[in-house]
Structure 1
Amino acid sequence: MKIVIDGRMLSWTGIGRYTLSLLEGLQSVDQHNDYVVLVRPSDWSTWKPEARNFTRVECDIDPYSVAEQTALPRVLKRLSPDVVHLLTPNAAALYRGPKVVTVHDLTLLDYDTSRGSRVKRLSTKLKRIPFRWILARQIATATRIVTVTDYIKQQLVQRFKIDPAIISPIWLAADSEHLAAAADESLPDLGAVETCLLYVGNYYAYKNVRTVVDALGVVAQSHPGVHLVLAGNANEFKADLLSQAQELGLADRVIMPGFVTDGQLKWLYRRSKIFVNPSLSEGFGLQGLEAMSQGLPVIAARASCLPEVYGDAAVYFEPLSSTDLAHRILALLRQPELLDELSDKGRKRIEMFSWRKTAEATHRLYMDVGQGQR
C-alpha cells in the first residue's frame, strides 16, 4: 500500500513531537508498505527517513491556511494514496479518499485561546468559526478517527453523534528516552531554592494556572520556603500572573524562566518536589507523564482525560478550588513517604505507554483502512 502522512507541523511543539515519534515507530514496525511524508521546506532538515520505504515530498502549504483546504486536497489526490493520515483535523477537510484523522482534543470548541492586542484576539476568535465547520466536515468524512484518549472518543460520540466503532483511542507516550539523553542544565535563579512546585506548558485561561498561584498563597503560610516555577513562554500572560503573585505577596516565590531547553526541563523535573497539572481541558496531558518518568510526583485536576492517563499514579484536586489544591500539596509536603509512594507509582505507570505501541496500533489501523474495513 501507499500511505501518505501529513508532516507539515514537524517543527511545532506538541504535534511535531507526535509526528516525529510516530514516524520513528512506523519505520521500525513496517518495512513493506510505501510511506510518503509531506514536509514543508522550512522543516526539511527536521526529519530524514531512515527506512527505504519512507520518502519525503516537499509541500509548501502552511497549516491553518486557505490553501490547506483548497490546494492540499489536490496534492493528496495527485499522490494516489491508498490511505492518508491527517495528524490534525484541520487539514484537507474536502479530501474524499480513504483517510485516518487524528483528533487530539476539543479545546478550541470550548475555550477562548485568543491573546495579544484586541485585533489579534478578534482575529483568533473569528478563526474558530471556520474551524468548527472544518472539524465537523473532517469527522463526517473520515474513514477512521484516532483519538489520543478514550475521553476524547466519548466527547466526539456525544457531540457529533458518530459511530463509536470508527474511533480508535491510541495513547501517546512520554519522550523519556529523549529527556534521559539530555544533559542537565541548571537554572541560576533556582540554585538556592529547596522546595519547588513545577508547572510546564502554556498559559491560556483553560490551563488554569491562576489557581496554582492562588494555592501557593495558602501553602506559603505554613511553608514559606516553597516556590512555584512556571516554565514555558508566557508571552502576553506573564504580566498578569506576576501581578497576581505581587498582590498575594508572592513576588519572590513565583519564578517564570520562560522557554526551557530539554536539559533545563530535565533538571527541573528532577529538582522539583511536585509537578502540578491544573488544566481544565487536555487531550492527553503529556507533561505529567514526562514528570513521572523522571520520578516527580504529580498532582492533577480531576478534569478531562487526566484521570484516564495518570490513573492511580497522581493525586487529584477539584479543578477550580485553589483551597483543595493547597490542601493536597500540604498533605504531600508533610508526609514525605507519600511523595515516595507517588514517585514509585509514576515510574510503574509510565511503563504502560510507549511510542512503539502507538506506532503498532496506528499501523494496524492503516491496514484495516487499506483493506476496506470500516
Structure 2
Amino acid sequence: MRVSLGVTLQVQNAAGLEIWTKEFIKALGNIDKENEYIIFDYFWRDFEQRKKMAFLPKQNNFSLYLKKAPRPIITYFEDHKISIIERWLEKKNIDIFHSTGYFLPYLRKIKAITTIHGLDFEEMDAYWYKEPWYRNVPIYVKRADSIIAVSEYVKASLMRYYKIPQQKICVAYPGVGEEFIRIKDKTKLNNFSKRFSIPSPYILTVATSVERKNLKRVLESYYRIKKLNPGLKLVIVGNKKSIQMPLVSEIEKMDLKNQVYFPGYIGPTDLVYFYNLAEVFLFPSLYEGFGLPVLEAMACGCPVITSNISALPEVVGDAAILVNPYSVEEISTAMEKVLTNKTLRLELAEKGLKRAREFSWKKNARETLELYKKVLQ
C-alpha cells in the first residue's frame, strides 16, 4: 500500500495543525515499517526554507515529494475539477491520498481521505472567517471516500452542516506529545524558572489568536481576581506579534502592564515546564475541534479550567472545571475557587493525569491504518 500524506509546510512556528501532523506522522512511522508513505506538498514561496520544515521519519518506507508550484493557482484548478495533483501522484503509484487538513484535490483514480480538525468557520460568525477558502470545505468532504474527525463533536458538526452520512466519518482522537509529563524534580523546575525569569505564582494560558482564544475575557477575569491575589501574574504563551500587540491597550487600561508576561512562542521541550510551574491552566476558548493544550496541561499535572462548549468537555471529561467562556464572572469565580483550594487543585491534577493517559498517538495511528485498509477493500 502506498499512501500520500498531504501536508501544509509552514515557515512560522508550529501551531495546532502542524503539531497534529508531526505527531501523527511520527506515530505512523513507529507502528508501520511495511507500507510506503510519501509526504506531499506543493508551494512556490520560500521553497527551500519550507522544505527544511518537513518532518520525515528516518526509515526506508517514508519519503518526501514536493512540487514547486503556486499554491493558489493549483488549488483553484483543483477546486474547479481540473486535475493536476493526481497526475503528479500517479507517477508515484499512490493508492490513497490522505489530506492531514481539509483540502482534497480532484481525484478520480486515487482513494481520498481528509482529516477535519473543526468547523469553527461554520459555527462562528466572525470577520476572520470571511476568506474564500472556507467556502470550499464542503467540496472537499464530499470528494472524500472517508473522513477522519478529531472528535465526536466534529463528527456531529460534519453531519449537521454538510449532511455527511455517519458511516463515512471515523473519529480518531489525537494523543499528547511525549514531551508533556509531570516533572517532579524541584531543582530542574527552579533552574528553568530562573533562566526564563518566570514570575511566580502565575496563571497560564496558551493562544494562537486573541479572538477565538478569548484573551480579552481572560484579561478581564484575571483583573477581577488580581485584587484578591496581588502577587499573582498572568502568563500568555504565543506569538508576540499576533497575541501581545492586540492586547496592549487593554492591558494599559486595566493597569496590568507589569502583571502580564508574554514569553513568546515556546516549543514543547520548554512549554512542559510552563505547564508544570503554573498554578492553573486557563483555556476558555470560544471554539475547539479538539483542544490539544488542555490535554498537554493535564498530562503535566496542571489543574485545568476550560470552556463548556465545543469539543472541550468531551476531551477533559470530569478532570477539569468547565465554565461559560462568555461569562467573565463565571471564569473569575472558577479561578478563585481553584487558587484558594489546595485540595481541589491536587484532585484536578490527579484526574487530569489519569484522563491524559486515555489519549495516545499510537492508538490514533493504528485506527488510521485500519481505515486505510478498509478504504482499499
TM-score range (shorter-chain normalised) is 0.7 to 0.9
**2:75 matched to 1:68?**
yes
- Between the aligned partners of 1:168 and 1:187, the Cα distance in structure 2 is 46
Which runs of no fewer than 5 residues in structure 2 stay unpaired? Answer: 43-47, 78-83
- SS of equivalent residue, structure 1 residue 205: coil
Q: Deviations over 1:257-286 (max 9, x none)?
A: 222243432221111100011111111110
**2:101 matched to 1:95?**
no
Judge conservation of contact 2:238–2:265 (CA < 8 Å) in 1.
yes
Letter in 1 for 2:117: H
Residue of 193, 205, 212 corresponding to 1:206: 212
The equivalent residue for 1:33 is 35
The equivalent residue for 2:2 is 2
The equivalent residue for 1:144 is 146
- SS of equivalent residue, structure 1 residue 214: helix
**2:270 matched to 1:264?**
yes
The equivalent residue for 1:58 is 66
Residues 289 and 353 of structure 1: is their aligned pair in 2 closer, same or farther, counting only changes over 3 Å?
same
Judge conservation of contact 1:61–1:72 (CA < 8 Å) in 2.
no
Judge conservation of contact 2:24–2:365 (CA < 8 Å) in 1.
yes
The equivalent residue for 2:193 is 186
Letter in 2 for 1:369: V
- Number of matched residues? 355
**2:117 matched to 1:104?**
yes
Residue of 265, 284, 303 corresponding to 1:297: 303
- SS of equivalent residue, structure 1 residue 352: coil
Residues 10 and 198 of structure 1: is their aligned pair in 2 closer, same or farther, counting only changes over 3 Å?
same
In the superposition, the TM-score normalised over structure 1's length comes to 0.87
- Between the aligned partners of 2:7 and 2:55, the Cα distance in structure 1 is 10
Residues 25 and 262 of structure 1: is their aligned pair in 2 closer, same or farther, counting only changes over 3 Å?
closer
The equivalent residue for 1:359 is 365
The equivalent residue for 2:132 is 129
Judge conservation of contact 1:302–1:319 (CA < 8 Å) in 2.
yes
The equivalent residue for 1:278 is 284
Judge conservation of contact 2:210–2:216 (CA < 8 Å) in 1.
no
Judge conservation of contact 1:186–1:264 (CA < 8 Å) in 2.
no
- Between the aligned partners of 1:34 and 1:202, the Cα distance in structure 2 is 34
- Between the aligned partners of 1:297 and 1:159, the Cα distance in structure 2 is 34
Deviates more, 1:3-12 or 1:162-171: 3-12
- Between the aligned partners of 1:49 and 1:295, the Cα distance in structure 2 is 30
- SS of equivalent residue, structure 1 residue 173: coil
Letter in 1 for 2:134: F
Residues 28 and 303 of structure 1: is their aligned pair in 2 closer, same or farther, counting only changes over 3 Å?
same
RMSD of Structure 2 on Structure 1 (CA):
2.4
The alignment-based identity, stated in percent, is 27
Which runs of no fewer than 5 residues in structure 1 stay unpaired? Answer: 115-123
